[in-house]
Amino acid sequence: MQSIQDLSWEEYSALPISRRAECLSRTDGMPLHTIFAQQFDRASLDRLCDSATKIRAIAKSRAGMQFLQGLLFHKRAMIYFTQPSSRTFLSFLSACQILGLRTGEVRDASVSSEFKGESREDSIRTFSSYFDLIVMRTREKGLAERMAWALSQSKRPVPIINAGSGKDQHPTQALLDVYTLQRSFERRGGLRNRTVVYVGDLARGRTVRSLSHLLTHYEGIRHVFVSPSALRIGDDVLADLKDAGAQFEVSDDLAAWLPEADAVYMTRIQDEWDESAGESAKIDTSRFKIGPEQMRMMRPDAILMHPLPRRDEIATEVDSDPRAMYWRQVRNGMWIRTALIASTFDCLSRIDHWFRDNL
Ligand code: ASP
């Protein structure tokens, strides 16, 4: 098998995604660079979810926190977030802090030399000299992947974690969503044979694109994509599910699917991608919202998720319903991102040992 270092960008980028996934991962199947959801299989998902649960238990005690903070005390991470974000930014910052990593941040490319005409690639490559990990969120589709390839050619192949790239992928959100689903159903037969109903702006939302792929690794998941026709899920996502042999439906009737759902995954309208002013506002989204009436239509054991930030697609009255999982998703995100960073630096077996010996 050819390694990424031996491939030009043209050769690498022409490969099918399954081959690119191999190039970005280590021989043990865990990602070196985490760029897209297609890098994960069931074993790596189980490994990360299990590690996240161990880390959260270890972090409860002072001795446990001291152990975790020693794991990557000698490493530094750059959080390069040039697209607006506070929650994912803080989630990664907290994950780094739990593992003792020192961090530096870039939030605004206009205050760096990119403003003087330097290419984004050159800037990131320069910054990578100071750090051992780059966590990046950008508006630009594919930049994290291009940087992962570029840094792999260099003498210091610093790993990259994609924290959201354009309309395309958000692999760490998908990890936390899977972790939340897995925990929600763990005492009720597990994450299998479930109907997951995704709702909202499925054309431009990146979270559903990544999550639906990860869920192909779980047996008997039926995917239902519910949106106004103008915001319909992309054919590429449906083709991906078809290749994986998953069952799916596309609908514009939320009320019809609510009683069938085990999980309802709401998303906001992504109007920052509008091509003309007010384009999204013209779409009638009134039938794609959840309030107390819709909660009554859902099963008592179903769950309601949202990657946040929300607008009005979930009414605040719903927040106190025990089926609302979105605040838990946020907390789960911090733990699974901690597990992913620990895995990137090959620390998961040290975590297993500490857990076995002390808890
Ligand atoms: N926070 C998620 C994202 O970065 C969802 C959203 O912004 O609507 O894609």
Q: Which of 2-11, 64-73, 86-95, 250-259 has the lowest mean pLDDT?
A: 2-11
The response to whether residue 47 sits with its C-beta less than 6 Å from ligand 1 reads no
Percent of the chain residues topping a pLDDT of 70: 97
State the amino acid at position 273 in one-letter form: W
Percent of the chain residues topping a pLDDT of 90: 91
Closest atom, ligand 1, to C-alpha of 137 = 4
Query: Residue 124: is its pLDDT beyond 90?
Result: no
Length of the chain: 359
> Quick one: pLDDT at residue 61?
98
DSSP state of 294: H
> Quick one: pLDDT at residue 114?
65
Give distance in angstroms: CA of 309 to centre of ligand 1: 7
Mean pLDDT of the chain: 95
Cβ-Cβ contacts under 8 Å for 132 (sequence gap 6 or more): 75, 76, 77, 101, 158, 159, 345
Q: Is 116 part of the annotated catalytic residue set?
A: yes
> Quick one: pLDDT at residue 3?
84
Q: Is 206 part of the annotated catalytic residue set?
A: no
The response to whether residue 171 sits with its C-beta less than 6 Å from ligand 1 reads no
State the amino acid at position 211 in one-letter form: L
For residue 10, what are its two tokens? 């043209």
103-123: average pLDDT: 79
Q: Is 137 part of the annotated catalytic residue set?
A: yes
Other CB atoms within a 10 A radius of the CB of residue 114 amount to 17
Q: Is 156 part of the annotated catalytic residue set?
A: no
Q: At what angle do helices 171-185 and 42-58 cross, to 10 degrees?
A: 80
- Its sign, for the CA torsion 43, 245, 267, 136, is positive
Query: Residue 109: is its pLDDT beyond 80?
Result: no
> Quick one: pLDDT at residue 121?
85
Cβ-Cβ contacts under 8 Å for 244 (sequence gap 6 or more): 213, 216
3-state helix, strand, coil in the chain (%, to 5): 50, 15, 35
Query: Residue 108: is its pLDDT beyond 90?
Result: no
> Quick one: pLDDT at residue 342?
98
DSSP state of 232: P
Query: Residue 115: is its pLDDT beyond 80?
Result: no
Closest CA to 262 of 338, 315, 185: 185
The response to whether residue 307 sits with its C-beta less than 6 Å from ligand 1 reads yes
Give distance in angstroms: CA of 284 to centre of ligand 1: 21
Query: Residue 112: is its pLDDT beyond 70?
Result: no
Give distance in angstroms: CA of 132 to centre of ligand 1: 26
pLDDT one-digit tens code per residue, 47-62: 999 999 999 999 999 9
Residue nearest to atom 7 of ligand 1 (CA): 309
CA distance 353 to 357: 6
H-assigned helices in 225-282:
235-243, 254-257
Q: Is 155 part of the annotated catalytic residue set?
A: no
The response to whether residue 75 sits with its C-beta less than 6 Å from ligand 1 reads no
> Quick one: pLDDT at residue 84?
81
* pLDDT confidence bin for 241, thresholds 50/70/90: very high
154-171: average pLDDT: 95
> Quick one: pLDDT at residue 1?
62
* pLDDT confidence bin for 14, thresholds 50/70/90: very high
* pLDDT confidence bin for 111, thresholds 50/70/90: low
Starting at the edge strand found earlier in the chain, the sheet holding 133-138 runs: 102-106, 76-81, 133-138, 160-165
> Quick one: pLDDT at residue 48?
98
Of the listed 34, 53, 88, 207, which one is catalytic?
88
16-33: average pLDDT: 95
204-210: average pLDDT: 98
142-157: average pLDDT: 93
34-41: average pLDDT: 98
Report all structural domains of the chain as residue ranges with CATH numbers, in order of start.
4-166+332-352 (3.40.50.1370), 171-331 (3.40.50.1370)
- Strand-pair partners of 134: 78, 160
Which pTM value belongs to this model?
Answer: 0.97
The response to whether residue 268 sits with its C-beta less than 6 Å from ligand 1 reads yes
CA distance 35 to 29: 14
Closest CA to 90 of 106, 79, 100, 101: 79
pLDDT one-digit tens code per residue, 287-332: 999 999 999 999 999 999 999 999 999 999 999 999 999 999 999 9
